[in-house]
Chains A and B, each alone.
Chain A
Amino acid sequence: MSIKETAQAVMKKAVQIAPDALMPGGAPDPLIRQKHGLIGTPVSRLDGPQKVSGTARFAAEFPMEGMLFATLKYSTIPKGKITNLDIAAAAAAPGVVLVMTHHNAPRMKPAPAFMSSAKAAGGDDLPIMQDAEIHWNGQPVAVVLAETQEQADYAKTLIGVTYETEPAVTAFEVAKADSEPGVFQGEPLLLEIGDADASLAAAPHKVDAVYRTPRHSHNPIELHAATVGWDGDHLLVHDASQCVTHTAWSLAEVFGIAEEQVHVTSLFVGGGFGSKTLWQHQTLAAAASKLAERPVRLMLSREGVYRIVGGRTLTEQRMAIGAQGDGRFDALIQTGVVAMGRHNNMPEPFILPARSAYQAGSFRLDVEAAKMDMVANTFMRAPGESVGTFALESAVDELADNLGMDPIELRIRNEPEKDPTTGAPFSSRHIVEAYRAGAEKFGWAARKAKPGTHREGEWLIGMGCATATYPYYRMPGGAARITLTADGRANVKIAAHEMGMGTSTTQTMVTADRLGLAMECVSVDYGDSHFPGVVLAGGSQQTASIGASVAAAYRKLITELLKLAGKDSPLHGLDADEVIGRDGHLCKSDELERRESYVSLMARIGREELTAEASAPPPLEFTHWSMHSHGAMFCEVRVNAITGETRVSRFLGSFDCGRILNPKTAASQFRGGIIMGLGLALMEETQFDERNGRVMNPSLAEYHVPVHIDVPEIDVIWTDIPDPHAPMGAHGVGEIGITGVGAAVANAVYNAMGRRVRDLPITLDKTLPELGLVP
């Protein structure tokens, strides 16, 4: 262990054994007790009218005076050098203002790679158009700026590039020979408790198999885009971003200017799912704009997104469980290899679910990274959990089948009382309730245990289930500013993001409840790097991060207000923890009649407005407690006995994610995650040409995502039991929905036809042989 690792381990231990009261969430958020507010009621999106009327402005939709249109040209080799760039014809083409290559690009530093420091946002840390080196197939080699998009796109076709290729590692089997231990969030992806291999060997019942998941692309429907302009040495970027503060800081590093000189806005984002961070296009647009001295709009083509924005990497997982005759797990082994770019650090952490899902006598969990010459892979919805649960939850189903046990009962048999690998107490875990409620509503009892025995006409019908799980996170850096005005209204500013999760609506509800104001009296501004806070829209952490930040700012605001209000206020002598907001008033919390309205308080202190800004406490709670969201996924499939086609006919997700703040938008998040999970199960794959490292299906015509006809009505229910240690008692719900779905579908396919598919996606070629339709 290095000194840093030792220090981290000591810190962690200290946080684990510290008294609850010292932890954030040690005293439950007062909002958990409040029953009559907006929280828990279905509220329509506040930005709905803008989105349905076409007035919501996305990144590529900001007009700027004198703006030029940009296009990128991409390398066609995976590794080597540019030996010649012929740009003369392009530069002379009508409307062209600039052709930028490594010869004339301004000198810039690489973008700091994501997670390398607190505000790093780069997908990788490679030089950006600074030299002749090519690092992946699809790397930008030239930018063309022209008066119109048509002129830029045409001119690009006139650029000639010649390369000198160098040997590249583009085959996974070759890369695997040199794989190295995976490190995620500063910790090795390796966990050993007991002698799992020996326990497995000795176990009377076991499953031991290899599961594979392919590369995936996020494919938000909004293409990555940025509209940028310089005012002297100040840079304005209208971005499509899930990390405005990170992007501003990182771009400042790239251009060698101060963080404050970069202003990133991103009010509307057309989906992100992990992809809308800092890739080369924002930097290239800003660099070209600097050279041309005019604003620039750069919207990637769909192919461009595949070329320069990484996706989820492939995984190859050995999954083994050894069990006693009563189903109790003796050994849980999940080890394997993922492909990873050479200049990023994201070893898809597929072992995360297994760390806390089940009690077991021994564990061996390990992720190795095999470095390849490819576009940097990155985070995609539930990185780790989405694909890790496929192997884990398929294996549990296989074991249940071997044991002749119901798969739900097998899971409950191995339900841990505390975190099975850290020993920390669970903050809130009601997965058994979620299973019982889900099974009841789905009609699980009607499932035929013997595969292949339920047939209707040409359709083989099966049911499967699987556990969904995703951690509760809250990242450091959360902060918010609240302003209370004389008319009794409040405004929050925080550098958070709305990509469709419902964050802006939900946080308006929460803030209104916290202050005791009507929803109309509260506004929440977000999506701007000049606002307080470092609030990544990732790890499903925004709900907690914003909640804790606003709570801190609220406390400071009320403290100040009470102090200034002085002796004549009926609230005199009370502190912020002794009052609550209700109906436009501050009230003594156990004596509600003792109160004064915000309007009166503001008049009393003689201010037009009062502002407080504060930071959320350090996020220690999820080290002290084991904090996770859970779910039970139920799926019914119909596999066609003639064509091998799999159709999902019913799906139900039963969730345990703390208190649900806005049932309307939360239900959409759950469904959206499940639908992306159906894609993962049945159709999604980014095809990678192992000969030259090029993505072969860089389009929505060839990368299939679920469409209307693929998606049945999806039932979602939840326990709604608050997590006493989370702000508002709530967990973020953006990622849990995709987890467990792959296994639920695969288990249903097995139940339908007796074929165990361990290699996603479950396409016809994998079901047909079992049906005897092809050899």
Chain B
Amino acid sequence: MSININGSPTNLPSDTRVSLLDLLRDHLNLSGTKKGCNQGACGACTVLVDGERILSCLALAVQYEGRSVTTVEGLSTNGLLHPLQQAFIDHDGFQCGYCTPGQLCSAVGMLREVRRGLPSNVTNDLEGESITLTRDELCERMSGNLCRCGAYNGIVYAITEFAETTK
């Protein structure tokens, strides 16, 4: 039984109670993914599974056999920051940095959802072909990622800039 984490095949734990989050943090020492509530309320533990964002605290590791997980550690390549990571630094999209890995993974997954045309609660035209990433669309879609430091403005600038450069 194995799971692919940031490109490396990894054994799944024998204890079926282990969440994907605890597998990463406690069993593999991949502590970039954060725990802020362990109950699906804060978004700090967001990772990408086959490109889709999930809350790793609500996922049992064994459910993800054979799947590919990307964590914040997997966003950068060869020590080079992902452009969204750089945009977070440029726009001061964090203070303490604890929600940041979740915000980053969530944003990457969110932008894919927008490209696929998935509507959100604030999308007016459900029949429409494509989604325009307005400020409201972006904020609505990122609202599962809490930032108690209140770096929201910077996060929005960073994601907007990144989304524009990768259009």
Residues of A within 8 A of B (CB): 44-45, 47-58, 60-61, 63, 69, 148-150, 154, 218-223, 268-271, 273, 299, 301-302, 499-502, 664-665, 667-669, 671-676, 699-701, 705-711, 713-714
Contacts and interface: CB of A to CB of B under 8 A. Distances in A.
A286 to B, nearest CB: 20
Given A44-B90, A665-B95, A675-B152, 9 more contacts: A44-B89, A48-B89, A54-B33, A221-B98, A270-B96, A700-B39, A709-B122, A710-B143, A711-B139
B31 A664 contact: no
Contacts, number: 190
B92 A150 contact: no
B42 A500 contact: no
A118 to B, nearest CB: 27
Contacts of B100: 51-52
B85 interface: yes
A6 B77 CA distance: 66
Contact of B145 (A55, A150, A299, A708): A708
A219 B81 CA distance: 29
B148 A54 contact: no
B152 A711 contact: yes
Contact of A709 (B22, B101, B139): B139
Nearest 6 pairs between A and B by C-beta? A54-B32, A270-B98, A51-B97, A500-B95, A500-B96, A675-B150
Contacts of A269: 96
B36 A708 contact: no
B89 A220 contact: no
A671 B150 contact: yes
Given A673-B150, A711-B153, A61 B25 contact: yes
Contact of A221 (B15, B44, B90, B155): B44
Nearest to B135: A713
A669 B38 CA distance: 27
B99 A668 contact: no
Nearest to A57: B31
B146 A707 contact: yes
Contacts of B34: 58, 221-222, 270
A197 to B, nearest CB: 41
Interface centre among A49, A668, A699 (most CB of B within 10 A): A668
B26 interface: yes
A52 B94 contact: yes
Contacts of A271: 95-96, 98, 148-149
B114 interface: no
Contact of A223 (B26, B35, B146): B35
Contact of A672 (B33, B38, B95, B142): B95
25 contacts: A52-B81, A52-B86, A52-B89, A53-B73, A58-B98, A63-B29, A221-B44, A221-B96, A221-B98, A221-B146, A221-B147, A221-B149, A222-B34, A223-B36, A271-B149, A302-B39, A500-B95, A502-B95, A672-B151, A674-B150, A675-B150, A676-B150, A701-B41, A707-B143, A709-B140
A50 B104 CA distance: 13
Contacts of B142: 708
B17 interface: yes
B72 interface: yes
Contacts of A713: 135, 153, 156
Interface residues of B, number: 63
Interface of B: 15, 17-18, 22, 25-26, 29-42, 44, 71-73, 75-76, 81, 85-86, 88-90, 92, 94-101, 104, 122, 135-136, 138-140, 142-156
A669 B44 CA distance: 21
Given A54-B31, A221-B36, A667-B92, A268 B150 contact: no
Interface centre among A63, A69, A269, A675 (most CB of B within 10 A): A675
A596 B100 CA distance: 45
Interface centre among B73, B98, B147 (most CB of A within 10 A): B98
Nearest to B151: A668
Nearest to A499: B96
Contact of A700 (B41, B90, B92, B95): B41
A672 B85 contact: no
Contacts of A700: 36-37, 39, 41-42, 146
